[in-house]
Structure 1
Amino acid sequence: MTDTVMAPAVAQPPFAGRRVRRVEDARLLTGHGTFVDDIQRPGMLHACFVRSPFARALINGIDGSAALDLPGVHAVYTAADLNPEVHEAWYSSYGPKVPDTPRPPLAVDEVRFVGDPVALVIAESRYIAEDAAELVDVDYEPLTAAADYREARGSEAVVHAAFPDNVAGGLAGPPLAVVEPAFAAAAYVADETFYQQAYQAVPMETRGLVVEWVPGPDGPDSGELTVWAATQTPHEVRAFGARLLGLDPDRVRVIMRDTGGGFGQKVVPMREDMCLLLVARKVPAPVKWIEDRRENLMSAGQARHEHGRARIAFDADAAITAVSLEHVQDCGSYPTPWPVGASGAVGLLYPGPYKVPLASWQSSTVFSNTAGRTAYRGPWQFESVAREVLLDIAARDMGLDPVELRRRNMIGRDDQPYPNPAGMPPYDHSSPLETFELALKILGYDAFRAEQAAARKEGRYLGVGTGTYIEPTATGQPYYASEGAVIRIDSTGLVTVIVNGGAAGNSLETTVIQLTADALGVDFDQVVTIQGDTAVTPFGAGTAGSRSGSAMAGAVAATATVLRAKLTALAAERLGVPRDAITLADGRASAGEASVSYGELASPDGVEATATHTQTAPMLWSNATHVCTCEVDIATGKVTLLRYVVGEDVGPMINPNVVEGQIAGGTVQGIGGALLEHMVYDADGNPMASTFVDYLLPTSTEVPHIEYGHMETPAPGPGGHKGAGEGGAIGAPPAVINAVADALAPLGVKITELPLSPSALVELLVAAGH
C-alpha cells in the first residue's frame, strides 16, 4: 500500500558532526552495564592463580595436595597439565612467521617476574580458590634477577635461554652514515639522553574471562566453546582461542558487552587468558576468572619503559637539518604481542611534524625480570617525548622561544605531501602548523609570557610547554584493513546495524548509529546496534590503532550503499516508476508525491544487506598540539597545572563529544605518566607499587579543565574521518614536561628523566644549587 503526501519530505540535517547524546550512557550510569564479572552461569566455578613471589627462581617442585584437600576445590593445574595442549599461540596482527618471544601459559621450570603464574586453582568460589592458592606449596630456588633492563644486556642473569644476551631483537632505519655529515656541519646540535619510567594502562575494569565448554554429540572434543571476555577485540580472541585449542573457529563464540577500559592492555589474549581457554575442556562446568587490582598492577604488563639518545642538528637559521635516535626499550619477561615491531614505530615517527631532510634511527628491545611489555595507547609515544623535550632544550640553548623554533620548522597544510625521511609514507591531509597556532591562540601565548615574567618577579615559577605530534591512524596493514557490517530493516521500520564493535568506553555504539542514520536517511532513534558477539557480527579487527571511526564509517557506508540499492529497487516496483525516479530520505522512498516507508518495503521478512570495507589508504594522519601551563612550588616540588589546551585535527568529527572524551581520557593518562605513575621495582625485581597507595593516578584535583580547538582536514578514508583514540596520551607528556622545565629554566634545571614527582624535582633543584 502506498501513501500520498502533499509535499516531498524535508531531509533532516546529518547526525554525523552533531553532539548526540551517547546511547551507552543510560545503562552504564544506572548500573545496568554487563561486564564480565556480571556473568553468572549454572554451576560456575572460579579460578585463582598461584603467582611467584620471586623475580627469578628455579621451580624444583609444586605440591597441590593440601589445596586439593580443601573442601570445594576441584583442581590444581600446573604447566605439565596445560602447556602441552597448546596448538598455536600467535596473534593475527603479526601472523605465524614473526620471530616471536616465549609465551607459555604457566611458568615452566623457572619463574621470571614477581607475579609469574605458576599454577591455577579451580574451586566452587573465588574465596575458596584464593584460600587454596595459598596452600599450594612451590619449592623455589631463588636466582639473581635482571631487574633493570638498562643493565640486562649481556648480564649473567639470563631471562630466557633462547636469548642469552637478553636482547629480544632490534630494528633500524636509515644508518647513522646518512646523517653524520649534517651533524658535523651543523651550527648547533642538541644531544640528550631521555629516560621514561614504566607505567601501565590501569583500566577501571581489570582483566577477566568466563569460559564454558559444551561437549558435542560426537564426543568430548566435538563441542563448542563460549567465552565472555573483557576485550577490545572479540574476533581476535575467537581466532586466537581456536588456534590455541586446535578448534575450527566456528566452534568458538566470544561475547563482550561492556568493557571497562582497555587502552591496549586488552587487545590480545595474555597468558592467563590462555590458561582459562585451555582449562575449559578439563572441567565439568563454566569457569570465571576476574583479576584483582594487585594482580593487574603486578602482572597485566608494563609500558613506556625506555630510553634513547636523541639528537637534532640545526643550521645557522635554526632550521632542522637532521635527526637521529638510538632507542632502547624494556620488554619485561613475557611481552605481548611481539615487542620488537612496536619499537620500530618509535624511530619511524621520531621526525614528527617537522621539515626534516635526513633521519637515522635504531631500536633494540631488552628482556628483564619484570612484568611483560604490553600495548598501551600510542605505543610509540616516546618519540614525541624525546623530540619535543629536546626541541625546548635546543631553543633555550640557542636563545629562541620554543614556539618560535617550532614555527621555523613545522609542516603546514601547504607543505604536503611531505616525505618522512625515517621510512613512513608521506604526511598528507593534516594540519600541524595550523593546529599549533590554534592552540596558542586559545591559550593567549603572549599574554601568558607577560604573566609569567610578572610572577617571576614575585618569586613564583610559572611555565608553559607544548607537545606537537602527528600519528598514523587506521593503517592499511592487512589485519586492520577490513571491517564488516550488516544492516537490517524490519517491518516496523526499525534499523539494526551489526558490527564487531564492542563498548570499551569509546562510544562505538553511538557513532555507528549516527553513521547509519545518515547513510540511510532515517532518524537517530530509529536505529539500534548489536555489537561484540562473534556469533552474529561480521569480522572486525577491534579497537586498536585508532582505526574504529574510519573503519566503521567505511563498513556502514559500503553496506548502506547495497541496502539503498535494494530499497530503491523495491520502491520502484511498488510505485511503478523507474529506479532513477526514487529518492530515499526521512525513512521513506519517494517518487514525486507518492512515497512508501522503509518498513512497508521491508515487510514481512525484512530487508538486509552485508558488506565489508577494506581500507586502502596507507595512513590517515591525525595531528594535534597540546599546550599546558603550570606553577611549580620550588620548596616542595609540587606541580599545579593551570590551563590545558588541545588544538587537534582528526578530520570531520562524527560526534564532537566523543572526540573530546577520547582526547580527555588520553590527556589524563599522559598527565599521570608525566607527573605521578611509576611501576617501581627494587634491585631484586620486587614491585614496589602494587596497590593504589603506591601507584599514584591523577584525580580531578590534578587535572585542569581541558579546552579544545578543532580543525577538520578530511583524509582519503571513509567520510574523511581519522582516528582520535591515542593522541591525547601522546601529546600530553611532552607538553607537561616542557611546562615544568620552562618554569624551572631560570634556576638552571634541565629535565631528562621521568616521572616529575615532587621528590624528583626537589633533587633537581638541589643539584642546581637551590
Structure 2
Amino acid sequence: MSAPEAPETAGYAGTRVPRVEDARLLTGHGTYVDDVTRPGMLHACFVRSPLARAKILGIDTAGALALDGVHAVLVAEDLNPGVHEQWYTLIGRDSPDTPRPPLAEDEVRFVGDPVALVIADDRYIAEDAVEQVVVDYDPLPPVVDYVTARESGELVHAAYPGNLAGELAGPPLDQLAPAFDEAALVVRETIYQQAYAQVPIETRGLVTEWSAATGELTIWTATQSPHEVRLFCSRLLGLPEHRVRVMTRDTGGGFGQKVVPQREDMCIMLAALKVPGALKWIEDRQENLLSAGQSRHEHADARIAFDADGGILAAAIDYTQDVGAYPVPWPVGTAAAVGMFFPGPYRIPQATWSTACVFSNTTGRNAYRGPWQFESVARELLLDAGARRLGLDPAELRRRNLLRRDELPYFNPNGMPYDDITPLETFEQALQMLDYESFRKEQEQARAQGRFLGVGTCTYVEPTTAAMALHATEGATIRIEPSGKVNVYVSGGSAGNSIETTVVQLTADALGAAIEDVNTIQGDTAVTPFGGGTGGSRSGSMTAGAIADTAAVLRERITAIAAHRLEADAGDVELTDGWARVRGTPDSGVSFAEIANLAYFQPEALPPGVPAGLEASGRYRPEAPIIWANASHVCTCEVDVVTGKVTLLRYIVSEDCGPMINPNVVEGQIAGGTVQGIGGVLYEHLAYDEDGNPVTTTFMDYLLPTTTDVPDIEYGHIETHSPGPGGYKGVGEGGAIGAPPAVINAVADALAPFGVEITRLPLSPAAIVALVDEAQSRQTGESA
C-alpha cells in the first residue's frame, strides 16, 4: 500500500496541543459526582455539631424517623464498629496516625463534627430530618488557639498530653550557637500565617452502590487518587480489593483536599452496606468550609545569620502547626518537610529545625498545594528584612547567596540532595523580565508623589515525584485496537491538571501514532492499572515513565511486524503519524491499522517469536527518590496607605520544571497556584471566634480573589532535565508556594518608608492600615 508522505516535523510533546477534555468541559458535558444517578438512589445528609467541644449525652432520632421518606438515621454505634482497618496507602500501614472515627463518639471536637447520618429519598427530606434529630450536649471548654494549646489544661484528645499530635527535630540549636553569636546580623522573627482552605469549585461527594448478590461495592467519587480510595475502602470494610470498584469521571478541583478519603467518605462507605440501594452524598459549600479541612494555620520562630557582606552563615526554624481535631493524613511528615526545606535554594552552611503538630477544637488539617509552603514564607520574609537592615537591595542579597548550576549537585545543610535546578538563573530571568532597575527608579519617583509601590520576590526549590508508598510506581496499559486506533489506560485522578491531554501527547510520541488516533481511559479502577493518582506534583513525570516503558514493548512489536511485511531490516523502520516506513523510502509503508489487522486476525503472518495482538502493560519506578523543580516569582504592587488596598501591578514567574509536555498546561498550573497564593495573602481567612465558632462559612465572609484582583501573569521558562524519562519534572504546586512570599515582600517593600515589618497574615486592608498607623506612632514616639 502506498503510504502518505511523512510529516516534516514529528513530536507532540513540547507543543501547545489543545486540551482533549475541553470539548466536553467547556460545553457543560462533563460528568461530576452529582451528575451520577442510579435506580432507587437514596440521599445522605449529616447532623453536625453546633459546639466546638461537648460530651454527647444522648441522640434522639425519633422525630427524624417519623418523617415520610426517611429510611434511617445512623449514629456512631451503628457505623463505627464496622471499621476493620483505616490507614492510607499514601503513608503506609506502619506510620503513626491520629484518631479518626467516622462519626463522633462520646464527644464532639469541632463545630461541624459529624454526629449522625440521615438517609432519605432525596436531599430535601434529608435536610429537613437533620433538623429533627435532637442531640443532648454537655458543653466543655474548647481548645481554640493552637498557639497556647500545649499549655492548656484541656485536651482535644485524652490520649495526647499537651495536645501534641507529634514532633520532630534536627540537630540541637546549640550546635549552631557560634555561627549566630559571631554573625554581623541575626534576623529573627516569629511569623504567623492564618488558616485558609482549598475551596475547590466542586465540593466533596460520592455515590456508593452495594450489590449483596455479588458482594461488590461500586463508588463514584471526586478524588485525586481512585486507587487510594479503592484500597482504603477495601481495608475499611474488610472487602477483597477486587470487590471494590472506584470510578472518577471529572473532578472540579482538589488541591490536596481530595487526595485521601475523609471521615464523611468513610461514613458513606460504611452506610452503603446498610441501605437497599445506591447512596449519594454531596457536600454543600457551607459544609465544605465548615468541615472539609483547613491548611496553612501555623507559625515559626525563624532566624538567619548574616556576615557583614550579606552572606548567609546559618539558619534555624522552630515551627508549629495547627492540625485541628482530625488531621488527614498524618501531619508530622509534612511538618518535618517545612524544617528540612527551610534553607531553600540558598548556599547556607549550617541549619537546624524543629517542628510540632498541635491539636485544636477546629476542623482538621489536610494537604493543600505545597503543604510545606511555610518554609518559603518564613525564609523569604527574613531575607528581605535582612537586606533592609544591612542596607542592601533584596535582589543583591539573593544574588550573593543563591545556588548556581555549576555548584550542583549540592546537599543543603539538612541533607536534601539538590540537582538539576536553576535558582540563580530563574531569579535573573524574572528580574530581567521586570526590568528591575527601571522599576526601582519608578518606585522612587512615585514615593516623591506620595504613592507607595513595592516589589517582592521569592525563589524556592520544591520536591516533585517523591518515591514513597502509594507514589512509588506508576502503571500504564496501551492497546492498539484492531482499527489501528490507540487506547492508553492510566490510573488518572485528574482534577484540572490536564493529565488526559498530556497522556495523549506522550503516547502519540512514544508510539509514533497520529495524535487524533490516541484516546485515554482514566479513573476506573476496574480497567486501569494501579497508580498513585494526582498529588505531590507527580503526574507528568510518572505517567511519562509508565508510557515510555510500556510503549517501548509495543514499538518493538510493531517494528518487527512492519519489517517482516516490508521485507526490511527492523533497524531501518521508522514509526511516524500512525505509519511504519522504511527509512529512505517514505512513499511506501504500512499503517498501524494494517499492522493491527495482522496482529489480531492473521497471526500466522507474523514473524517468528512475535505474539498475537498489540497490547502491553508496564510499570515505572523513578530513578531518583526526588525530582527537584524550582522557580522565582516577582510581584509589584501599589499600596494605598489610607484605605489599605493593595493593587497588584505585575506578576512574573520564571519556572524550571524541565521540558514542558504542553506549555499551555504548565502555564495554567502555574497560574492556578499563583492565584491561590495571592488569595492566601490578601483575602482568604478560615477564621474562628474565641469559642471555636467558624465565622467564615459562606462566600460572603470567606473572600476569594477574582479576575479583577489578579494581573496577567507573565511566564519565563528555563529548562534543565531531570533524571526521569523526557527530563520532565512536576509543576503542580509551585505557584502556591512562590506567590505568598512574593506578594508579602512586595507589600512590605511598598511600606518600607514607614518602617513596617510584616510578620502576621492575612494582609487585609484593615491590617495594613493598622501596620502603617502603628509604625507612624512608633516613629513619632522615637522622635519625641
Contact 2:92-2:469 at 8 Å conserved across structures = no
**SS at the partner of 1:296?**
helix
How far is the alpha carbon of 1:379 from its aligned partner?
A: 0.2
Give yes or no for contact 2:91–2:469 (8 Å, CA) kept in 1: no
Residue 431 of structure 1 corresponds to 422
Structure 1 position 410 matched with structure 2 position 409: no
**SS of residue in 2 equivalent to 1:344:** helix
Q: In 1, Cα distance between the equivalents of 2:10 and 2:563? A: 25
Residue by residue over 1:186-237, the C-alpha shift from the partner in whole angstroms, topping out at 9 and shown as x without a partner, is 1111111100000010000000000000113xxxxx5100000000000000
Give the Cα–Cα distance (whole angstroms) in 2 for the partners of residues 321 and 124 of structure 1. 66
Distance 1:297 1:183 in 2: 43
**Correspondence 1:633-644 to 2 at 5 A:** 633-644=640-651
- Which residue matches 1:586? 577
Partners of 1:58 and 1:706 in 2: CA distance: 50
In structure 2, the residue matched to 1:561 is 552
Residues 1:310 and 2:311 aligned together:
no
The Cα of 1:11 is off from its aligned counterpart by 5.6
Amino acid at match of 2:130: A
Q: Secondary structure in 1 aligned to 2:162?
A: coil
Q: Which residue of 1 aligns with 2:434?
A: 443
Distance 1:109 1:530 in 2: 45
Distance in 1 (CA, whole Å) between partners of 2:370 and 2:98 is 21
Number of the residue aligned with 2:517 = 526
Secondary structure of 2:368's counterpart equals coil
- State the alpha-carbon separation in 2 of the partners of residues 415 and 708 from structure 1: 26
The equivalent of 2:145 in structure 1 is 148
The within-5 A match list for 1:465-544 is 465-544=456-535
Q: Is 2:115 the partner of 1:118?
A: yes
Q: Is the 8 A contact 1:11 1:521 kept in 2?
A: no
Distance 1:48 1:192 in 2: 45
Further displaced range: 477-486 or 89-98: 477-486
Q: Is the 8 A contact 1:481 1:551 kept in 2?
A: no
2:635 corresponds to which residue?
628
Letter in 1 for 2:274: K
2:605 match: none
Matched, 1:229 2:221: yes
Aligned partner of 2:593 in structure 1 is: 599
Structure 2 counterpart of 1:251, from 239, 243, 246: 243
Q: Deviations over 1:532-557 (max 9, x none)?
A: 00000001101000000000100110
Whole-Å separation in 2 of the counterparts to 1:244 and 1:150: 34
Match of 2:35 in 1: 38
Secondary structure at 1:27 match in 2: helix
- Match among 685, 695, 700 for residue 692 of structure 2: 685
- Measured after TM superposition, the shift of residue 475 of structure 1 is 1.4
Q: What amino acid maps onto 1:638 in structure 2?
A: K
- Does the 8 A contact of 1:476 with 1:616 survive in 2? no
Residue in structure 1 matching 2:269, options 277, 282, 302: 277
Q: Match of 1:509, SS?
A: helix
Counterpart for residue 328 of structure 1: 320
1:127 equivalent to 2:124? Answer yes
Q: How far does the alpha carbon of each residue in 1:330-371 deviate from its partner, in whole angstroms, 9 at most, with x for none?
A: 000000000111100000100001001111000000000000
Shift of 1:677: 0.3
Cα distance between partner residues in 2 of 1:213 and 1:411: 56
Structure 1 Cα separation of the partners of residues 567 and 10 of structure 2: 29
Whole-Å Cα distance in 1 between the matches of residues 128 and 219 of structure 2?
26
User: Do residues 108 (structure 1) and 105 (structure 2) align?
Assistant: yes
- CA–CA separation in structure 2 for the residues paired with 1:656 and 1:464: 27
Whole-Å separation in 2 of the counterparts to 1:300 and 1:292: 10
The answer (yes or no) to whether the contact 2:10–2:576 under 8 Å persists in 1 is: no
Secondary structure at the residue paired with 1:409?
A: coil
Q: CA offsets, 1:416-460, max 9 Å, x none?
A: 111111132x21101010000000000110000000000000000
2:634 corresponds to which letter in structure 1?
A: V
| Amino acid corresponding to residue 397 of structure 1 in structure 2 | R
**Does the residue aligned with 1:596 lie in a helix, a strand or coil?**
strand
2:702 to 695, 701, 713: 695
Partner Cα distance (2:551, 2:185) in 1: 56
Q: Is the 8 A contact 1:462 1:631 kept in 2?
A: yes
Tell me, in whole angstroms, the C-alpha distance in 2 between the residues paired with 1:579 and 1:720.
27
Match of 1:645 in 2: 652
**TM score, norm. by length of structure 2:** 0.96
Shift of 1:578: 3.9
Normalising by the residue count of structure 1, what TM-score does the alignment of the two structures yield? 0.98
* 1:768 counterpart (762, 775, 781): 775
> Structure 1: where are the runs of 5+ without partners?
217-221
RMSD after superposition: 1.1
Q: SS of the counterpart of 1:768? A: helix
- 1:553-611 per-residue CA deviation (whole Å, 9 max, x = no partner) reads 00110111011011122223333444334322221222354421111111246511111
Q: Which residue of 2 aligns with 1:219?
A: none
> CA offsets, 1:348-403, max 9 Å, x none?
10000100111100000000000000000000000000000110001001111000
In the other structure, the counterpart of 1:176 is: 173
Does the alignment pair 1:455 with 2:446?
Answer: yes
Deviation at 1:131, TM superposition (A): 0.3
Deviation at 1:155, TM superposition (A): 1.1
2:623·2:723 contact (CA, 8 Å) conserved in 1? no
Superposed displacement of residue 635, structure 1: 0.5
Secondary structure of 2:703's aligned partner: coil
**Which runs of 5 or more structure 2 residues have no equivalent in the other structure?**
602-612, 778-784
Q: Give, in whole Å, the separation in 1 of the partners of 2:17 and 2:563.
A: 33
The answer as to whether partners of 1:674 and 1:756 remain within 8 angstroms in 2 is yes
**Residue matched to 2:610:** none
Q: Which residue of 2 aligns with 1:137?
A: 134
1:64 aligned onto 2:61: yes
**2:670 matched to which residue of 1?**
663
In structure 1, what residue type is equivalent to 2:140?
Answer: L
CA contact (8 A) 1:481 1:616 kept: no
Shift in Å, 1:157: 1.6
CA distance in 2, matches of 1:567, 1:318: 60
Q: Secondary structure at the match of 1:514?
A: helix
Deviation at 1:469, TM superposition (A): 0.5
Q: Which moved further from structure 2: 176-185 or 708-717?
A: 176-185
Identity %: 66
The count of aligned residue pairs is 761
2:195 aligned with 1:198: yes
